[in-house]
Each structure stands twice: as C-alpha cells, then as structure tokens.
Amino acid sequence: MDDGNRGRLTKDGIRIYESADFEGMRKAGKLAAEILDALAPLVLVGQTTGELDRVITQMIDEAGAKSATIGYKGYQHASCISVNHVVCHGIPGGKVLKDGDILNIDVTVIVNGWYGDTSRMYVAGKLSRKAERLIQVTHDALFKGIEAVRPGNTFGDIGHAIQSFVEAERMSVVRDFCGHGLGRVFHAPPNVLHYGRAGTGPMLEEGMFFTIEPMVNLGRPETKVLADDWTAVTRDKSLSAQFEHSVGVTADGYELFTLSPAGLFHPTYEQE
Ligand code: MF3
Ligand code: CO
Ligand code: CO
C-alpha cells in the first residue's frame, strides 16, 4: 500500500512533496470543489442531510473516485454535514433542513491516491443577520490564514492571523479541532492550529500540503462530542461555522487545490 512515502520528511515529520505531486493534488482538490459546487442548488428547506450525502456519494462514484471518509475510523458517510451549533463531523441522516439553517458540508475524495479535502457553508432559506456575520468572518479568517502561507513563515503565523482576526470580531476560534497535513494520506503531520503566536511552530517550506479549516463560534470556543462519538457541538449551543481549503506551499506563497470552479466557495447570500 502506498503510504505517502515520497519526497522527504522535515525534522517535524512534515512531508515535502515534489513539484510533479502538485498535479495530483489539483485533480483531487478540483473534484472535491466541483462536488461542493453541485450541491449549492440542492441545499433547500425540506431537504434532508442524508439526501445531500447520497448525492455526494453518487457524484464521487460517477467520477470514478473514492470517498476518504467512508470506512475512515468506522465513519460510514461520504460527507460531514454540520448544521447550526454543530461544529464539525455532523453525521448526515434524517435531519430536515428548516428556514434559516446554516450548514457546513465537508467532502474528502481520493483521486489516483491523492486526497482533496474541502468544506464550505451553505444556508437553507433565509440567512439571519447574525449567521451572515459569522459566515463572513469565518470565511475571511480562512483567507487571513491562507495569506500567511509562504516559505519562511511558520504555522504559528497562520494560527495567529486567524485567531487575531476572529477575536477582534468578538467571536471565538475552536481549539479542539485543527487542520492537518494531507497528500497521499488523509491526516498527516502537522496539526494546523487555528490559533497561536506569530513566529512559533514549524517553518513552512515549499512542497508542504495541508488543510486550513477554522471553526468559529458566535459564543464560547468549547465543544463537546455527542454520544454518537462523532458530532461535535458548541457547549453553549451558539452557532458555529467553518470553511476548509487544501493548500500547497509554493516557492513564493501558496496554491489552493480546492478553489471552486464555479466561484461558489463563498455562500451566495445574494440569492433573492
Ligand atoms: N474532512 C474532515 C477534515 O477536514 C474529516 C472528516 S473525518 C470523518 O479533516 F470521518 F468524520 F468523516
Ligand atoms: Co480536513
Ligand atoms: Co474536511
């Protein structure tokens, strides 16, 4: 089995991929992003999260790709769908979307052995003002982190950029879940924290592949996992949002592998 053993490892155990490997990540990232694009018109009041997951499973199948999450640590679905106060790892099922629900849909596909992992926010029906602000801040926080990606910066610079931006908006960054290295494997070093101090942590180098996926709460940062052992919710029941891109470090900055081909990464508030 190919365990991702290519390129070399840094002293922190972070794999440095070769320039030819970017092409594998582009293909995987593009499929994941296309699937999220195709879901946009299906996120409707009355729809179930289980039906959305069924469509995702079918799209992965039709593309001749594989779901990274089906069978991962016993998880049985092609997506995580996290509604309202669910922070992440919401299990798709019979839950019916109602007017004003906000949801993150997170899809990870495997294409020719490469992993593409991305998530974004959607809304069913009419978006409330406070949810709109949360989603905007979370989206912009991801990009604050992305803009810190360049050789010579550190992972702490990414976390610091995200945390300082979010807290200035009087929202909070979830500490209990983080981004991760990926490539020929789903989750690899490093843990990409969405908080931290500038200049700390491992140095970024060209050829590193990882996700940045901040979760932001309107209330306090604490989470708890429900009895299903997956669903993470805010302890104070406040709304939570998340966006995720798979990123590669280039010679002078970054490449986003999971950009939306249709330009739908940011939720389309403009509807109506
Ligand atoms: N896609 C998630 C991430 O961003 C992981 C989901 S694992 C699952 O890392 F098993 F819950 F699907
Ligand atoms: Co991820
Ligand atoms: Co993900």
pLDDT digits (tens, 9 = 90+) for 17-38: 999 999 999 999 999 999 999 9
Range of the domain at 45: 10-256
Categorise residue 34: left if φ over 0, alpha if ψ from -120 to 50, beta otherwise: alpha
Closest Cα to atom 7, ligand 1: which residue?
Answer: 69
- Per DSSP, the three-state class of 248 is strand
CATH code at position 27: 3.90.230.10
Q: What does the alpha-carbon distance between residue 166 and residue 217 come to, in Å, rounded to a whole number?
A: 9
- Per DSSP, the three-state class of 117 is strand
Pocket test for ligand 1, best of 60, 186, 225 (most atoms within 8 A of CB): 186
Ligand 1 proximal residues by C-beta, below 6 Å = 69, 72-73, 75, 80, 89, 106, 108, 117, 180, 211, 213, 230, 244
Would 32 be classed as within a structural domain? yes
**Is it the case that residue 113 has pLDDT exceeding 50?**
yes
Report the pLDDT value the prediction gives residue 268, as an integer from 0 to 100. Answer: 56
**Cα 263 to ligand 1 centre (Å):** 23
Would 167 be classed as within a structural domain? yes
Would 3 be classed as within a structural domain? no
**Cα 70 to ligand 1 centre (Å):** 10
Would 1 be classed as within a structural domain? no
Would 268 be classed as within a structural domain? no
**Is it the case that residue 77 has pLDDT exceeding 70?**
yes
Would 261 be classed as within a structural domain? no
Which amino acid makes up residue 102? I
* Model confidence band, residue 4 (pLDDT cutoffs 50, 70, 90): low
For residues 34 and 266, which has the higher predicted lDDT (pLDDT)? 34
**Is it the case that residue 188 has pLDDT exceeding 90?**
yes
**Is it the case that residue 98 has pLDDT exceeding 60?**
yes
**Cα 39 to ligand 3 centre (Å):** 16
* Model confidence band, residue 272 (pLDDT cutoffs 50, 70, 90): very low
Closest Cα to atom 3, ligand 1: which residue?
Answer: 117
pLDDT tens digits, 231-240? 999 999 999 9
Nearest atom within ligand 1 for CA of residue 213: 4
pTM above 0.75, yes or no: yes
Nearest atom within ligand 1 for CA of residue 211: 4
**Cα 78 to ligand 1 centre (Å):** 9
Task: Give the pLDDT mean for 190-215.
Answer: 98
**Is it the case that residue 271 has pLDDT exceeding 50?**
no
| Domains: count for the chain | 1
- Per DSSP, the three-state class of 132 is helix
Would 267 be classed as within a structural domain? no
Would 263 be classed as within a structural domain? no
Cite the beta strand spans of the chain per DSSP E: 8-9, 15-16, 66-67, 79-83, 86-88, 102-111, 114-123, 172-173, 179-181, 188-192, 209-212, 215-217, 223-225, 232-234, 240-242, 245-249, 254-256
141 by Cβ neighbours in 10 Å (0-12 / 13-18 / 19+) ranks as: buried
Report the pLDDT value the prediction gives residue 155, as an integer from 0 to 100. Answer: 98
23 by Cβ neighbours in 10 Å (0-12 / 13-18 / 19+) ranks as: exposed
The single residue listed with the structure tokens 């997506």 is: 79
Q: How high is the mean pLDDT of the chain?
A: 96
